[in-house]
Amino acid sequence: MSPSVASPAQTVPAARRALPGAPFLAAARGERPAHTPVWFMRQAGRSLPEYRALREGTSMFDACFDPEMLAEITLQPIRRHGVDAAILFSDIVVPLKAAGLDIDIVAGTGPVVAEPIRDAAGVRALPVLDPEQVERVADGVRLLVGSLGETPLIGFAGAPFTLASYLIEGGPSRNHEHTKALMHSEPRLWHELAGRLADMAITFLSAQLDAGADAIQLFDSWAGALSERDYREFVLPHSAKVLSAVAGYGVPRIHFGVGTGELLVAMRDAGADVVGVDWRLPLDEAVRRLGGGVVQGNLDPALLHASWPVLEAEVRRIHAEGRAADGHIFNLGHGVLPGVDPDVLTRVVGLVHELQV
């Protein structure tokens, strides 16, 4: 059953909401709620016709900095699918844009940086993010926590490695050659850059948490390009800095990357309460590697295009594998693809909620 959701113009509560009955938060604590919670990465976005209608004529960044619009977009999948958590409509490069970097989100490509940062001068010119620069995002969070009822809100940020990769490569990269070259050739400069980006992520997450977000997810989308040795040396200290800085809020901290099956233990060691698993590794194997704990995942998003019998079998398999964990949050192994039929997502939510915990 879909939760009732009020208008995003409601009065905002002064303190963080108490949500004792939220299955998402219970599972994140390693408990067994009445049903397995489910939400989808990129659940708010191009798969929804109401999103496309609302966004028509509005750039991605304009939408991300418009409190009413970002709140409405965040609410759309809650109304339609009845998922157990909302995730803030934003983008991992929003704090870079807010700080004043010349960056754009190009349709069909992703974030593109006008002047890649590949030397000491570029690193030292990187601006510091002021909380006031993301205040409109925080305003959107405040609208949401006043509108979501009993549904938790997940805030998020990009992890230092993934943000650095965009800045160094100038955009999405298949091989991350410039990033890896700088990392190994100039480790001091790398750590300076990653440290600055960690500070930026902390500021962005803190703004969302101060406004009332109920959980956070740190996306290290490109960390799967690294060996575990490189991850532990060059990346883990900076992701740990971010996750440690928000530990005092007492909310679940989810850590997710793509192609990170060999890094799951290291990502957990960075300070994650919940480890996101992509579709390449069975959940029960992920739990074995982690030695227990709480996992999130991990339906292959491409299978949302398969026939219902095929998709149903996959959902049931993943749900069964998730029982090996102390807590399981059902999700995709990456984000919803743009061409997915929204009714399929709604049907998946219904099935997950019906399955025995």
CATH of residue 63? 3.20.20.210
The whole-number average pLDDT for the span 16-23 is 92
Residue 4 lies in a domain: no
- 254: containing domain: 37-354
For residue 46, indicate whether it is catalytic.
yes
- What is the token pair recorded at 181? 């070259």
Residue 59 has pLDDT above 70, yes or no: yes
Residue 31 lies in a domain: no
Q: Which of 51, 55, 268, 278 is catalytic?
A: 55
Residue 169 has pLDDT above 80, yes or no: yes
User: Among 3-7, 312-316, 349-353, which stretch is predicted with the lowest mean pLDDT?
Assistant: 3-7
Query: How many domains is the chain built from?
Result: 1
**Residue 42 main-chain phi, psi, to 5 deg:** 60, 30
Residue 13 lies in a domain: no
Residue 5 lies in a domain: no
Q: Residues forming the annotated binding site for substrate?
A: 42-46, 61, 91, 166, 221, 334
> Residue 15: which pLDDT band, with cuts at 50, 70 and 90?
low
For residue 323, indicate whether it is catalytic.
no
pLDDT score for 3: 45
Give the Cβ contact number of residue 185 at 10 Å.
Answer: 9
Residue 7 has pLDDT above 80, yes or no: no
Tell me the DSSP string of 159-212. -HHHHHHHHHHSS--SS-HHHHHHHHH-HHHHHHHHHHHHHHHHHHHHHHHHTT
**Greatest distance between any 2 Cα atoms in the chain:** 57
- What is the token pair recorded at 159? 């992890």
The whole-number average pLDDT for the span 99-126 is 92
Q: Residues forming the annotated binding site?
A: 42-46, 61, 91, 166, 221, 334
User: Are β-strands 86-87 and 153-158 bridged in parallel, bridged antiparallel, or unpaired?
Assistant: parallel
Residue 327 lies in a domain: yes
Cα 119 from chain centroid (whole Å): 29
Q: Which of 51, 139, 166, 253 is catalytic?
A: 166
Residue 113 lies in a domain: yes
Residue 1 lies in a domain: no
Cα–Cα distance list, 47 to 60, 110, 152, 345 (Å) = 15, 17, 22, 10
Give the Cβ contact number of residue 82 at 10 Å.
Answer: 16
- Amino acid occupying residue 18: A
- What residue has token string 């798969």? 47
Q: Model's pTM, two decimal places? A: 0.94
> Residue 69: which pLDDT band, with cuts at 50, 70 and 90?
very high
**Residue 276 main-chain phi, psi, to 5 deg:** -80, 140
The mean predicted confidence, pLDDT, of the chain is 94
**Residue 278 main-chain phi, psi, to 5 deg:** -80, -175
Q: Which of 42, 80, 142, 268 is catalytic?
A: 42
For residue 91, indicate whether it is catalytic.
yes
Residue 85 lies in a domain: yes
How crowded is the C-beta side of 149, counted as CA atoms within 13 Å?
Answer: 14
pLDDT tens for each residue of 336-348: 999 999 999 999 9
**Long-range contacts formed by 50-56: CB under 8 A, 24+ apart:** 50/76, 50/80, 51/76
